[in-house]
Structure 1
Amino acid sequence: MLRYLPAPDALTMPQEGITLVINDGSAVTTALCAELVGNGHQVVVLTFPIGSSTLRQSFPAGVVEQQLPDRQAETMQQALGQLTAPVSQFIYVHPRLARVDVQTFAQASEKDDLKTAFLFAKYLKPSLNADTWQTRPAFLTVTQQDGALGTANSGQDAILGGGVTGLTKSLNLEWPGVFCRSVDLSPELTATEAAEKIRQELYDSNICLTQTAYNAVGKRFTLVAEPVDPTKEPLLNARINERSVFLVTGGGRGITASCVNQLAITFRCTFILLGRTALQHAEPDWAKNRSESTDLKRQAMEFLNASGAKPLPRLVERLVNEVLAQREIRANLEYLKTQGATAFYRSVDVTDPEAIKAVLDELQPQTGPVTGLIHGAGRLADKLIEHKTEADFDAVFDVKVLGLASVMQALSLADLQHVVLFSSVAGFYGNVGQTDYAMANEVLNRFAYLFRKNYPKSQVVSINWGAWDSGMVSPELKKMLLAHQVEFVPSQEGPLALVDQLSIQAQDQVQILLGGTLPVAKAVTDAPLRTYTINRTLTLDANPFLAHHHIQEHPVLPINIANVWMAQTADMLYPGFKLYREDNVKLFKGIVFDGNQPTDFQIVVQELEKSAERVHVLISVRSQRGGKLPMPHYQSEIVLVSQRPKPPIEPLPDIRNMVPVIADGSVLYRDGTLFHGPDFQGVKQVLSLDETGALLLCEHPGLSWERQGQFPSSSINGFLTDSMYQGLLIWVRRFHNCACLPLTTGWVEMTQELPFGRPFYVSLRVVQSTEFSMSADLTAFDAVTGVVFLKTQRASVTISRTLQWTLPEEVAS
């Protein structure tokens, strides 16, 4: 689903080297060049011909344009060799094509455009990954699909360009020192607006994010996977029966065949299976009655020797694999027959629509019209991008994408009730060595939304499969996934999951992830220590929750939100690490929105130490004051770790034998104890309260991402930690009968994310209390399991006998 994002913070970085832009032929490229030159970039534009025409555009002064005669690999390499300096930043702007439909989506010209981005990634790998850059090297791709990463397709939007997201996400894993980002812009944005958004993304300090989108009004989003609650219905219903006919590509072997077998068990329908392997009438004599792999290899070697050929390992492997493939297909066909299903197998090139039509013309008089499609054909050529070839790209991309296009051209689409696309988490997350495979699968994901828009009565789903324990995974990849503790899809459960996905209950799920995720990117930690300066424009309008946090009639940024600001800034700079500890949290000058507040802030991140296991930084937040020295606001030390220790368990209170001191926490927000509006009202009950401490029961249903503004909850939730700290105000009000304001915190330890929508306890233990201040240790732990989410030591407040709250009902919500 799409998730709202605030505007990006801007990383301050020197400009060096060349920013290379691939021209899409529109005003967007021209406006982008002006934006870049205005920010100190040395810009070179490469322009390719469109058809037989040469583009003629006027670029700003300082921009160098190279007109290239064609898209041949040699031409691209020659153009790079003529540059006067190395490339530090690459921006590929994908052309926006004319209207397409589900049968014409795979335009050859757009595939060529996509391959251009792929080849430039290959050729620019050495330059972008050089360890001498003072600036941040970048690989940025731009599409103008729908401003929603293909999920809001109008039914006519070209989709092949969406494949670049698979490229950038995979490069993000292969190139940990390069900023990789895909941006999808609504075509309704003006060229100037689009250029500004692209430049903002290029400077974004968040290197954990790999894809963003801007809709027609300029709101920013990303695409995330959200857990789906299992259906509560005991039996799942589907519009599939014995009369259903499925065309299945790649259906003779592997995981696709396993899924077909389960469908046969469940529905006993008819299958037309298409595969690459041509079935032979009989096995070769040397393989007969041989079942063991080692025995087959020995017999294959003897056969080659007897034939006068050298028994090279690759020849032996090919002969054995051909035999095993034949056996697997025959076994699957026999199994389908035993389950009461009807199955036909034909060897065909799935990228050839005429060949598929011929098969359908032959078989549909017997089977009836095809009512369902399972596109499971696929091919791998796993290599790092610098070792990839054009042939690799074509082999992997064509069977997925052109194969789908061929099937669409061959079928009667009006008869289709089900369309199932076997995509992969390699497309959704990216994967090392699978740039081409990720690109192809991202196109399949985009196609699902295109098809659904045009055929809303058909059930279509793109299943982003995780790696199967018996699937299309090379030994090297499997070893890497196991090292990263990636969970495999069990071969017995995957087919059952597919059957569930074809149920009526799942008919609105157009794209779904089934199985484990893939390894995430890991920040580079073997480079010298650095200091980063990040810029943020902080406004009241961008943060709606501030309407629920007024002190003395003015909105005030809560100290816990400021803590989130510092912690998340560090978190976004170091992918592969988790927030663990925040030390010496200091408040110098709070941010009060009284009309005179600053809007431009700098977050300075100074690395103190870093290793593969731990990163320690000092973070300061300060505002600019027009020529004067910056004003300090907050400071803390942040520790991130590659692996958090197992969270401790707190004993659960026996609430059955407790009489709450305050049974209805909402009273606290009305009687002057607390001043917080609904966005911060998380205290549900005060279970105990005495001179030594307190115990609170807290829960908050959550806020929309847009309402959370520039401080969205992620590794740390500022809205819920604020509920924790409200325990200090409750205690001070009870035992000092006055208000208080936060001062400092000794340390915060984060062992697990504190989630919305789940009850938790807050244990408060008073450490010190005087007439002027109070400090306490706080622990937040799960109300069901006792798992500790967060602990703070010596959270201190200053006590004020004159401070008066502005109550929530006095503030506009």
Structure 2
Amino acid sequence: MTATVQINPSSVFVVSGGAKGITAQCTIKLAQQQPCKFILLGRSELIAEPEFARDCLEDAALKKRIMENLISQGEKPTPMMVQKIFNQITSSREIKNTLAAIEATGAKAEYISVDVTDTVKLKEKLNNVIQKTGAVTGIIHGAGNLADKLIEKKTEQDFEKVYTAKVQGLENLLSCIKPEQLEHLVLFSSVTGFYGNIGQTDYAIANEILNKSAHLIKQQHPQCHVVAINWGGWDSGMMTTELKKAFVERGIGIIPVEIGAQMLVNELHPAYKNDTQVVIGSPMKPPASSLGTELRSYRIRRRMTLVENPFLHDHTIAGTPVLPATCAKSWMVNGCEEIYPGYRYLSCKEFKVLKGITFNETLAQEHILELQEVAKSDGDFVEFQTKILSKNAQGKTHYHFSSLIRLVRQMPEAPIYQEMDLTEDHLITKTGKEFYQNGGLSLFHGVSFQGFTKVLNATPEKLTAECCWQEISAQQQGQFPVKWHNPYIIDLSTQTLWLWLNHFHQEVCLPGQLTFSEQYLAVPFNIPFYVSCEIKNKTDTGATANFIIHNRQGQIYSRITAAKAVIWPMKAINN
């Protein structure tokens, strides 16, 4: 059910953390769009401005006056004493400015000094104000704390400080305000909860609980517009010059305050798409790890089953589910990338299918991914020799796949495919699902690997197809999730050789070796892209081809060169 309730002058919002910082700016923007009533919650006390501080707006001058006032009272001022009084004055000023800015729009605003983790005081103070404002119709939960440290340095107190403000704060708000009376519930979460971030394990946990809470509350109260906004970094006072520089180096975008505040307003508009969880901002990419000088080796073990990997039912040969070679490559790529965050897969050499993995009685209890570093240069690249192997009940080792994977710190610019040809010759007239219908030489792939829209043109030397791969669920992807490398789209791209063989030679094939492949950009899904298959050689037993995945302007996402395929008997392919 989609919430359609419009905010109106009688709407009453409780906003935790709403008197200062980013949450205050969002509240002001909301009041400008639709003046209503706001109850702002914050831990800071609202104090009367001391006489000595009036009209003193410069930080240095204000601190000087604080020192002079302390001395005049016979005190010996310390930096800590001065800073404490300075914080009280500037905090009160910010709260008063927020209240004034809200009321300047024609809206009404009340401020309550209370800690949202204190259930008793929160309930008591809220009830007193609600008697003036009327029943609360919306909550914006923006309160939060930080205690950034590496996990081994975090204390129990650090965790409690961060966790309770987010999670206990939400529970307390919902214990004071019945969820069934709410028309809007907005939770300020973070991309840290969605992507993770170094030094913020507690913050990530707390925000991910907010994300899951949003989904649960929406299920229980479908009449309420519930949204958890996973914010990225804001260009605010907390965003220091040093932090900005670090974000830029990591490729993390920063949200301008005006734009971010408007995005909150958009999320509360009934005409806007009502998603229960949205991400606004860039992924929290970790800084590049140091490669060191020693060439290391790693072993990653995995137990693979059909139950855990439903997509395998869409890749069966002779009635038996078979692991696609592109999924094996994806495991290799992801395994390498996880070792060195900040480095990304660029190329793969000599990928070989040595012995396929079939999901029948021969399936091993576990498979092992071996990664051996063969070359690296810190801040530049690292190269791995990779192998996937297993052992049978007798202890005999079987090697299934091997390759040489290269990760780089900086991706090169995506090249342009100069030989692109998108003209249509209507030689192959099948479209969409017709490519995968049973019978004849149709493709055997199930929905997880389907995506042909149409063949644009085909000659004895080349075939170009328009494709659109529809994203499958995380559950369907199982142990082979789409990340930078998309094994389902790469498999789809190689099916162009199958189509070419079907049409010109009435034959089929299976992959043998991907001599060289590289990726410059993530291949988009749910929107069209193009695959150009260049035939380099064809014999009775095999074929060699290039596969170029590109957009309509010729920009190359990914390409495979000199791929070798084995011509296969039809009876071995058909189910």
Contact kept, 8 Å, 1:675 with 1:806, in 2: the verdict is: no
CA gap 1:472/1:450 in 2 versus in 1, 3 angstroms: farther
User: Deviation at 1:370?
Assistant: 2.3
* SS at 1:570 equivalent: helix
Q: Tell me the residue number matched to 2:416.
A: 649
Tell me if structure 2 keeps the 8 A contact 1:420–1:460: yes
Is it true that 1:514 corresponds to 2:514 in the alignment?
Answer: no
Aligned to 1:373: 139
Change (3 A) 1:507 1:651: closer
Could you tell me which residue of structure 1 aligns to residue 22 of structure 2? 255
Distance 1:540 1:442 in 2: 29
Residues 1:474 and 1:352: Cα distance change in structure 2 (over 3 Å): farther
Residues 1:748 and 2:514 aligned together: no
CA contact (8 A) 2:15 2:38 kept: yes
> C-alpha deviations, 1:524-553, integer Å up to 9, x for none?
632733333333444556555555545566
CA apart distance, 1:636: 1.0
Note the aligned Cα RMSD (angstroms): 3.5
Structure 1 CA distance, aligned partners of 2:354 and 2:150? 49
Deviations 1:71-105 (A, max 9, x none): xxxxxxxxxxxxxxxxxxxxxxxxxxxxxxxxxxx
- The 8 Å contact of residues 580 and 639 in structure 1, kept in 2 or not, is answered as yes
Structure 1, unaligned runs of 5 or more: 1-230
Given residue 109 of structure 2, which amino acid in structure 1 is its aligned partner? Answer: A
Structure 2 Cα separation of the partners of residues 253 and 733 of structure 1 = 66
Partner of residue 793, structure 1: 561
Aligned partners of 1:605 and 1:618 also within 8 Å: yes
Q: Is the 8 A contact 1:545 1:709 kept in 2?
A: yes
For residue 268 of structure 1, what is the amino acid of its counterpart? Answer: P
Per-residue deviation, 1:277: 3.1
| Comparing 397-406 and 483-492, the one that deviates more | 397-406
CA pair 533-652 structure 1, distance change in 2 beyond 3 A: same
Matched letter for residue 761 of structure 1:
Y
Which of 284, 289, 298 is the aligned partner of 1:532? 298
Q: Counterpart in 1 of 2:484?
A: 715
The aligned amino acid for 1:603 is L
Aligned-residue sequence identity (percent) comes to 37
Change in Cα spacing, 1:614 to 1:658, as seen in structure 2 (3 Å) is: same
Of residues 264, 273, 280, the one that matches 1:498 is 264
**Preserved CA contact (<8 Å) 2:47 2:89:** no
Q: Is residue 313–residue 446 contact of structure 2 (8 Å, CA) maintained in 1?
A: no
Match of 1:615 among 361, 382, 404: 382
Secondary structure in 2 matching 1:609:
strand
SS of structure 2 residue aligned to 1:271: strand
1:694 is paired with a residue whose SS is strand
Pick closer, same or farther for the CA change 1:546–1:256 going to 2, 3 Å.
closer
> What is the CA–CA distance in structure 2 between the aligned matches of 1:788 and 1:498, rounded to whole Å?
36
- Aligned-residue offset at 1:242: 0.9
Distance in 1 of aligned mates of 2:344 and 2:257: 32
What is the count of residue pairs matched by the alignment?
570
CA distance in 2, matches of 1:403, 1:536: 40
CA distance in 2, matches of 1:793, 1:744: 10
Letter in 2 for 1:324: T
Inter-CA distance 322–620: structure 2 relative to 1 (3 Å threshold): same
The answer to whether 1:676 aligns with 2:431 is: no
1:244 Cα deviation from its structure 2 partner: 1.5
| CA–CA distance in structure 1, aligned partners of residues 407 and 102 of structure 2 | 53
Mapped partners of 1:340, 1:640: distance in 2 = 57
5+ residue gaps, structure 2, are none
Match of 2:351 in 1: 585
Verify the 8 A CA contact 2:198 2:286 in the aligned structure 1.
Answer: no
AA in 2 matched with 1:424: S
Shift of 1:706: 4.1
State the partner residue of 1:136. Answer: none
Say if 2:409 is the partner of 1:638. Answer: no
**Does the 8 Å CA contact 2:45/2:88 hold for their aligned counterparts?**
no
1:412 and 1:563 map into 2 onto residues whose CA distance is: 51
- Out of 37, 40, 47, the position equivalent to 1:273 is 40
Query: Tell me, what secondary structure is at the counterpart of 1:532?
Result: strand
CA distance 1:774–1:613, change in 2 (3 Å)? same
Match of 1:246 among 4, 7, 13: 13
Does residue 465 (structure 1) correspond to residue 228 (structure 2)? The answer is no
Closer, same or farther: CA 414–730 of 1 in aligned 2, 3 Å: closer
Superposed CA offset, 1:331-356 (max 9, x none): 22222222111122233344444433
Partner of 2:60: 294
TM-aligned CA deviation for residue 664 of structure 1? 1.8
Is contact 1:663-1:687 (8 Å) kept? no
Query: Does residue 601 of structure 1 match 2:370?
Result: no
How far did residue 709 of structure 1 move? 4.9
Q: Tell me if the contact between 1:256 and 1:376 (Cα under 8 Å) persists in the aligned partners.
A: yes
Q: 1:492: Cα distance to partner?
A: 0.5
1:241 shift after superposition: 1.1
2-side partners of 1:558 and 1:496: how far apart?
45
Matched, 1:759 2:528: yes
Cα deviation code 1:544-569 (max 9, x no counterpart): 55555455665544433443343344
**Partner in structure 2 of residue 687 of structure 1:** 456
Matched residue, 1:701: 470
d(CA) in 1 for partners of 2:361, 2:523: 33
Deviation at 1:630, TM superposition (A): 1.6
How far apart are 1:748 and its partner, in Å? 0.6
Instruction: Compare 489-498 and 422-431 and name the one that shifted more.
Output: 422-431
In structure 2, the residue corresponding to 1:493 is in which secondary structure?
Answer: helix
Q: Does residue 777 of the first structure (1) align with residue 543 of the second (2)?
A: no
Question: Is the 8 Å Cα contact of residues 459 and 507 (structure 1) preserved in structure 2?
Answer: no
Tell me by how many angstroms 1:458 deviates.
3.3
Match of 2:493 in 1: 724
> Which residue identity does 1:627 align to in structure 2?
Q
